[in-house]
A and B are shown apart, each in its own frame.
Chain A
Amino acid sequence: MKRRNLLAMLGAAFVAGCSKIGETAWFGALVDGAEGWHRGLHRGLGFGRITMAPEFDRSEVSPFFRGNGNVEVDSDEYRAHLAAGFADWRFTVGGLVDRPLSLSLAQLKALPQRTQVTRHDCVEGWSAIAEWTGPQLSSVLAQAGVRPEARYVVFRCADSFRQGPYYESCDMDDALHPQTVLAHALNGAALPELNGAPLRLRIERQLGYKQAKYLTGIELVASFADIGLGKGGYWEDHVGYQWYAGI
């Protein structure tokens, strides 16, 4: 019995110690370093080709696409847009671009479209397969003319959590990736509110929390240090999720 108590004490001390270490600055730096290693391996193992998330056959689509995070937007403005079929919804492109844009859904749909059946992987562990349609982010960026000093794209959203509006960001590698799409259709129908109407991001080599919903626009920046709490996304700021969501 004594020995068992000792073991339990050692175990508790170990767990408590780990929890303490987890809060230190040097452990945070270690995590950032490891994140970079993983990302380097993910890109390096592509051996020079652009790595592509697997695409599936339309027959493999999940019967229902689960909504997670916010599943509706609690604002009168959004509800008015929803009722009007998003006829006056605007998607703005600003920041470090030559030509800031304000695009309607019709204008986005007039761009060349990409349809892809991909698997959505939530950070929690579940997955769902769906078909997404929309213009590639790269064609919107080409229209706006990205300035050379731009390094990240920040995605602005209409939905909010307790500590403020949702936002996310990615680097230019993912922004210009062929599978990075501003999706307005899910499984061939207009994107429902549950899944981010009228526009959501698909950034297929990363986890679900990167797939920002209810998009109102993007901003090109050289650094996201001054945006939100400076970690590059709502959950990164408030819960501590890793900015590189490819792991």
Chain B
Amino acid sequence: MDETITVPKVRKRHALATRLWHWVNLVAIVILFMSGLNISNAHRRLYWGDWGFDRADAWLFVPNFPGWATIPNTYSLAAARDWHVVFSLVFAFGLAAFMIASLVNGHFCRDLRTRLADYRPAHVWADIREHLRLNFDHAGAKFNFLQKVAYAKVIFILLPLMIVTGMAISPGMNAALPWLADLLGGRQSARSIHFLCAWALAIFMVGHVLLVLLSGPLKQMRDMITGGRDDEAA
């Protein structure tokens, strides 16, 4: 099917769905993360299993996050939950829409699919070496191997996990889909995984921004806004 499409001039480097979602999702994730830090300040302990409230039950004592890192900028569980409640919908429905669009427009199959041969140690090592040399040429494909793996992990594992763990924590959703919390090991486990995935996403974002800065930030930003041209050497 791919071979029949031979009009690369028309195709943009990033599809409209990708660009729209990228920026909407950025806003949603930043707000969810920062309001989440405010919510975390309400009870700074994490537990495994279904229940937990005592110091003795905790597996992690979470530090207090300062006002400059939280939304709103002073401690308010009520206001932080308001932000979380609004942008959780933007985030979840946004991801669902992006996934459907990317299945339809071929973005997932064309750009994110990896083959078994790609996982050969020699190939992975070669890709790491090119990264360390700050050489981001990808010989034809849009993304190199490490990029594909990183994006796929975020899109298909981390982001969906944020959503399902969030759903499992909500008592109303828990009554509708009780198997979700069971699958995640109980409500407090879901809460712990929610917290861990949030930080994993934050780390991804730091790496993502760093690599954009190292690989021609102006062009990268421009392309993610206008779409760019597909035939340009990326």
Contact = CB atoms under 8 A, between A and B. Distances in A.
A42 interface: yes
A163 interface: no
Interface in B44-62: 45, 47, 50-54
A172 interface: no
A206 interface: yes
Contacts of A8: 68
Contacts of B187: 119, 121, 127
A93 interface: no
Given A31-B85, A56-B50, A129-B50, A19 B170 contact: no
Interface in B97-137: none
A125 B191 contact: yes
B200 interface: no
A39 B172 contact: yes
Nearest to B178: A54
B174 A53 contact: yes
A240 B78 contact: yes
Nearest to A12: B68
Interface string B60-96: 0000000111111110111101110110010000000
B188 interface: yes
Interface in A194-247: 204-207, 235, 239-242, 244-247
B70 A15 contact: yes
Interface residues of A, number: 55
A127 B49 CA distance: 10
B11 interface: no
Nearest to A18: B71
A43 B50 contact: no
A242 to B, nearest CB: 7
Contact of A38 (B72, B170, B181, B188): B170
B82 A31 contact: yes
B50 A242 contact: no
B175 A42 contact: yes
B51 A127 contact: yes
Nearest to B67: A15
A34 B82 CA distance: 9
B89 A125 contact: no
Contacts of B174: 53-54, 205
Contacts of B47: 126-127
B88 to A, nearest CB: 8
Contacts of A14: 30
Given A12-B68, A42-B175, A204-B175, A242 B81 contact: yes
Interface string A4-18: 000010011011101
B89 A34 contact: yes
25 contacts: A15-B67, A18-B83, A19-B71, A22-B83, A37-B89, A41-B173, A42-B173, A42-B176, A44-B176, A45-B176, A46-B175, A53-B171, A53-B174, A53-B175, A62-B53, A123-B81, A124-B42, A125-B191, A126-B47, A205-B171, A206-B171, A239-B77, A240-B82, A241-B77, A245-B171
Interface of A: 8, 11-12, 14-16, 18-19, 22, 27, 30-31, 34-35, 37-39, 41-46, 51-54, 56, 60, 62, 64, 66, 119, 121-129, 204-207, 235, 239-242, 244-247
Interface of B: 30-31, 34, 39-40, 42-43, 45, 47, 50-54, 67-74, 76-79, 81-83, 85-86, 89, 169-178, 181-182, 187-188, 191
